[in-house]
Structure formats: structure tokens, C-alpha cells
A and B are shown apart, each in its own frame.
Chain A
Amino acid sequence: MTAPDPPAVSAEGLHKALAGAPILTGLSFELRRGELLGLVGANGRGKTTTLRILAGLMRPDAGTARIFGHDAARLRAPERRLVGYMSQNLSLYPELTVAENLRFRAALYDASASDMAAEAAARCGIAAVLSTRVDRLSGGWARRAQFAALLIGRPPLLLLDEPTNGLDLVTRRIMWRWMAELAEAGHCLIVSTHDIIDAEQCPSVLHYGVAGAVGPMPPRALAALHGAATLEEAVFTLDGGGRL
């Protein structure tokens, strides 16, 4: 009898304050491979902080975050291969071409750099811009390239901080389709977003409100919990829109 696989993500009682202000107050949730979780809520409520803690870029003040059983606060280079992190900012080197950026990411993994870069480029449909410098790409192409870079090394846990921010509707739909396909393929994804239409595409969401985080639960369940007909209505009320 073998031990069950550890959850992809296990957060227990996470507390974090930034500049003296409490951001996370006892956040707990668990996710397994194949799950896609959306993080929603107003600015400054802790979505990015949660992603950074899970990526090992910040340490919680209290509580623990585990990635496939490893303490996220003490991830070493081999364990970092389990996590792909896409920040809000464009995190590719602007002076380099898309291909050079992808090859660099691939070289950090053991597999053939060029094969891995080509596979990611093909998946994200960026073959046409491979030889273009990143600082000469439009916002949409740059995001696609960043998404391709995220897939290098096939990390089983993908953390995406507002990946569709500022993109047109078509590109957004494409990216959400990719994320759904990755979840179906067994990856675990956590995606923060301000767009409620985007969030409704997630099987489950975690809402960051004034009183703390609620969830994860399906968008409809979150709406029903707060007596709203839609997720948008629920989030609007929870984020203080009712006072307007």
C-alpha cells in the first residue's frame, strides 16, 4: 500500500502583514493536481501575496504553505521545478528575443533547451514572433510569450498573477482555454483576476474580502452563499460596492 500523493498546494493558517497592515489572516485551503482555482477580490486584499508565498518569494508571518509536501518558504532549486510563477509585470528580458528568453528558461531545466522552447512556442502559437525582441511586441503577444515561458519545464503547479490583465477579449479567451486544458492535463493552477467573467470560468474561486478569504468553492456557490444571483453581484457587494 503506497502513501497518497501529497496535495499540490496545502495552505494552513497563513498570516501575513505588509508595512504593518494585515493582508492575510488565517488563510487555509488545499488543492490537488487537475484543479484550477481563481483568486478574486479587491486590490490589496492578498491575492498577489498568496501567490508569492506559494512561489517561495515571501515568507508567511505564521502558518505554513506546502507545495507537493515541501515547505514553500524553504524551496531549493530542485523543488522550484515544481512551480511555475507568472508575475503581474512582464517578466521576460525586453532586450532579448522571444526565442532567447525561452531558451534561457529551458536551459535551467535538464531537458533539451531547444526542444522545450519549441514545444512551448508551438503550444502558445508564438512561432511568428520568436525572433522578435520582447520590447517590440504588443501587449497580447508579450503575454503569450510570457505564458509560453511559464510552461517551460512543465511545472505541475502554475501560479498566475492577473495573466489576462489588459488583454483583448480574444486573447483572454485563448489564454483561459489554455489554462483549462492544462488543468485537464493534470496541472494544478491558481489564477488571480479582477475580471469576474474570467473568474466564472474557474471551477472554484477563493474570494478575498474584508473579513478574510472565503472558499474555495464554485462561483455559483459563492454567489448563493451571499444571496446573490451571480458571482459579479456577490463580489460587488462583498468588496463594498453596495455602499456606492
Chain B
Amino acid sequence: MSGLRACGAVAWVEMLRLLRSPTSFTLLLLVPALQIVLFGTAIQPSGAKVAVAVAGPRAAAAALGELSREPGLVLAMPRLAPGGAEAAVRAGKAQIGLEIPPPGGGAVRLVVNAADPNLTALAESRILGAYWRRAAESAGVADLAPPIDLQRLYNPDARPDWGFLPALVGVIMMISSIMFGTLGIVREREQGTWEALLALPLGRGMLILGKMAPHVALVTLQGFVVLLVAAGLFALPMRGAVSSLMLLMPPFAAAHLALGHALAARARNQLAALQGAIAFYLPCMLLSGFLYPREALPRWARILGDALPLTHFIRAARQATLEGGGPGAVLMHGVPICLFLGAALILAALRHQPRLD
């Protein structure tokens, strides 16, 4: 009972310090605001606009009409002399150049600036699609190949922001938690309050739990607010068991806080602690599938990613929002998150010696 009372006292003090610290507000409000603006607003649903240059005798007629109807393409230089499209790409005036030869003069040439394939890959496939559609019509076989009835599940307009936003909830919570976990302890050590705390009648476990409790509550609240913003500002659908996702938020936050405490145990200063936090969360963003599709990763990287809470939280968040998963489908992702939490707590307890030497 006295252990719980001590834990509650630490939690109460931690909450007061948190609410009065400008750093906490930066982490709780500024970082999420910046991320949601960057990932939600800056990534336009219509995708990037790619500049196209077209050269050749027939450029003005069929090709231009076809290309001008394609989304994401801008006919920057539509009527160039032969060779002009390639020159425009090489000069950096267009990302894609289309060289259309005179009748009987060989193949149509598509010149692509592939320095940034993420930018040009979609435009490239749109131009190729338009080409083959036009070819089928010219050959009079268009009726033999009726258009494909494309059915996109969960995200009918393939909005890139909808792809990012469920994952962003987890990323924001992860960054906040791990930062609070690492910086909080090191800052106390630098202030000199940690030494005094260790001398007080307080068990190691209760100390760590008391330190974590208010952060878990605030980061969970943060996750909820980010979810609300995603639904309100970006119309992210909430089709599944969102309340089950909310249940996963506290263990998810606690897992990263405990890991942060473990990282902070031996960090000499705030900079070292910060480096430890970044060294963890940057690979997480890659291995979890947030920045890059997990399916494109090598097997070893996918196995590593499976051990991370963020990977499972992202799956749960997509289930609860876009995919309309029920409580079971969402909560099953809580098992690996809780396993990670247990391991992180043990690590934090082992690394935190209640001494100064």
C-alpha cells in the first residue's frame, strides 16, 4: 500500500512538472502539429504534378489531347521540334519527354528523368496507359479490350494522406513517448533531483511506474487528438473499432516510455539521450512500413520490424480506421505490443541501478 502511495506521489509530481515545462508542450503539441501538417496537408490527394514535354510532327493532335486529360501531368512544353523533348528533360525543364516520330519512323520514345523515381513512376505508367489505349483505338480493337473495372477497397480515391494518417498517429505517439522517457530522466539527473530521489524511501519499480504514469496518460490523449484531427480535417474514415485502438494506446505509449527510461539509464547528458532516442525511432519508421512499404523490405528487415510495437500499432490503426476491423482484429495487435512493453520494463528496471556509481 505504501509502495502504491509513493508511486502516486511520484506520478503527481511528474504530472505537475510536465504541465509546467515548455519542453513538454513542444513535444505534445508542436511536434504533432508539424507532422500532421507535413504528412496530411503537404501530401496532396491528387499527387504530384509532373511536367511533360512533347516533340514530333503529330504532337499537337492525338497525343496532346490524350495527355492533357491525364491527372498529375502538366503539358509544360507541348509542341517541340523532334529531339526537343529529350533536350527539355536533360535541361531540367521537364521531368518526362515524349518523342513522337513521323509516321513509319520507328518507336515512340519516352525520356524520363529517373533521378527521383517516386515522382515520375506514376506519371510514366499513366503515359504508357494512355499510349496503349490510343493504340487499341487506332487499331480498332478497343471494343475487344473493354476498360478494367478498377475497385479500390478502403481508399477508393487512393488518397495518399489516408495512407499516412493512421500510421502517423502511432509515429507521433512513439516519438513523444521515447523523448519523454529519455529526456525526463537525464534532465533530472542533470538538475540534481535524481540523486535526492534515489535517497528517498521509494522502491525502484514504483519510481519507474510513477514516472511513467502521467506520460502514458498525456501521450494517449495526444494520440486521441491526432486521430480526431485526422478525422475532422482530412476526413479519415473511422469504420472499425476505434475504441479498441484507444485501448492499445496506453500500452503502446508505455512500451516506448519504458524503453526511453532504459536508454536514459546510462546516458551522460541530454544530447546522448536524444541520440539514443533518434537511433531507435528512425529505424522504426522505416522497418514498420511508415516510410517505405514493408513488402519491399528484405526478409530480415521484416522480421526485425515485426518485433517493433509501431509495426503492430500501424496495422491496428489501419484496421480501426480504413479497413473497418472489429475489436478482435484491432486488439490482436496488442499482444506483441504488450510483450514488447514487458521486455522494455524489465530492461529499464535492470539498467536503472538505484545508485550513483
Known contacts A59-B355, A77-B6; A96/B16 CB under 8 A:
yes
For B, the interface residue count at a CB cutoff of 8 angstroms equals 29
B195 in the interface, Cβ–Cβ < 8 Å?
A: yes
Known contacts A77-B6, A80-B202, A110-B2; is A87 also within 8 Å of B13 by CB? no
- Total A-B pairs, Cβ < 8 A: 86
Minimal Cβ-Cβ distance residue in A for B192? A89
| A94 contact set on B, CB distance < 8 A | 191
Residues of chain B within 8 A (CB-CB) of A238 are none
Q: Is A83 in the interface zone, CB < 8 Å from B?
A: yes
CB nearest to A90 among chain B residues: B192
Q: Are A57 and B355 in contact (CB under 8 A)?
A: yes
A145 to chain B, nearest CB (A): 13
CB-defined interface of A180-192 with B at 8 Å, one 1/0 digit per residue?
0000000000000
> A113 — nearest CB in chain B belongs to which residue?
B9
CB of A104 within 8 Å of the partner chain = yes
CA distance A21 to B192 in the complex (A): 24
- A residues with CB within 8 A of B: 18, 52, 55-59, 76-78, 80-81, 83, 85-96, 100, 104-105, 107-110, 153
Determine the distance from Cα of A95 to Cα of B17 in the docked complex, in whole angstroms: 6
Asked if A83 and B355 make an inter-chain contact with CB atoms under 8 angstroms apart, the answer reads: no
The main secondary structure of chain A at its interface with chain B is loop
Chain A residues with CB below 8 A from B356, complex form: 52, 57-58
- New contact pairs (18) apart from A59-B355, A80-B200, A80-B201, CB-CB < 8 Å: A52-B356, A55-B199, A57-B195, A77-B6, A77-B201, A85-B196, A87-B196, A89-B195, A92-B196, A93-B17, A94-B191, A95-B17, A95-B21, A96-B16, A104-B13, A107-B9, A108-B6, A109-B201
**What are 20 A-B pairs at a CB distance below 8 A?**
A57-B198, A58-B357, A59-B355, A77-B2, A78-B201, A80-B202, A87-B195, A87-B196, A89-B191, A89-B192, A92-B193, A93-B16, A95-B16, A95-B20, A96-B13, A96-B17, A104-B9, A107-B12, A109-B201, A110-B5
| Chain A residues positioned under 8 Å from B2 (CB to CB) | 77, 110
Given contacts A58-B357, A95-B16, are A108 and B195 in contact (CB under 8 A)? no
Chain A residues, CB < 8 A from B196: 85-87, 91-92
* Chain A CB within 8 A of B203 CB: yes
> Given the complex, which residues of B lie within 8 Å of A95, measured CB to CB?
16-17, 20-21
Do A100 and B195 have beta carbons less than 8 Å apart? no
CB distance from A78 to the nearest CB of B (A): 7
B8 beta carbon closer than 8 Å to chain A: yes
Which of A90, A100, A153 sits near B13, CB closer than 8 Å? A100
B3 CB-CB contact with A under 8 Å: yes
Q: Which residue of A lies closest to B196 (CB)?
A: A91
Name the A residues within 8 Å of B203 (CB-CB): 76-77
Interface string of B197-215 (1 = CB under 8 A from A): 0111111001000000000
Which B residues lie within 8 Å of A100 (CB)? 13, 16
Q: Of residues 322 to 357 in B, which have CB atoms within 8 Å of A's CB atoms?
A: 354-357
Assembly CA distance A55 to B8 (angstroms): 24
Whether the Cβ atoms of A59 and B357 lie closer than 8 Å is yes
Please state if A105 and B21 are interface contacts (CB–CB under 8 Å).
no
**A91 lies within 8 A of B195 (CB):** yes
Closest A-chain residue to B190, C-beta based?
Answer: A89
Residues of chain B contacted by A57 (CB below 8 angstroms): 195, 198-199, 354-357
Q: Which of A58, A90, A108 contacts B355 (CB 8 A)?
A: A58
Whether the Cβ atoms of A91 and B192 lie closer than 8 Å is yes
Name the B residues within 8 Å of A81 (CB-CB): 201
Contact of A83 among B20, B21, B192, B199 (CB under 8 A): B199
A56 pairs with B201, CB closer than 8 A: no
Question: Which residue of chain B is the closest to A91 with respect to CB atoms?
Answer: B196
The answer to whether A108 and B9 have CB atoms under 8 Å apart is yes
Partner of B199, one of A59, A76, A85, A110: A85
In the complex, residue of chain A having the shortest beta-carbon distance to the beta carbon of B13: A104
The 3 closest A-B pairs by CB, nearest first: A89-B192, A91-B196, A107-B9
Name the residue on A nearest B17 (C-beta): A95
A89 to B191 alpha-carbon distance, docked (Å) = 8
Residues of A within 8 A of B12 (CB): 104, 107
- In the complex, A80→B204 CA distance in Å? 12
A70 to chain B, nearest CB (A): 13
A230 CB to nearest B CB, Å: 34
Q: Which of B1-58 contact A (CB under 8 A)?
A: 2-3, 5-6, 8-10, 12-13, 16-17, 20-21
CB distance from A153 to the nearest CB of B (A): 7
Residues of A within 8 Å of B9, CB to CB, are 104, 107-108
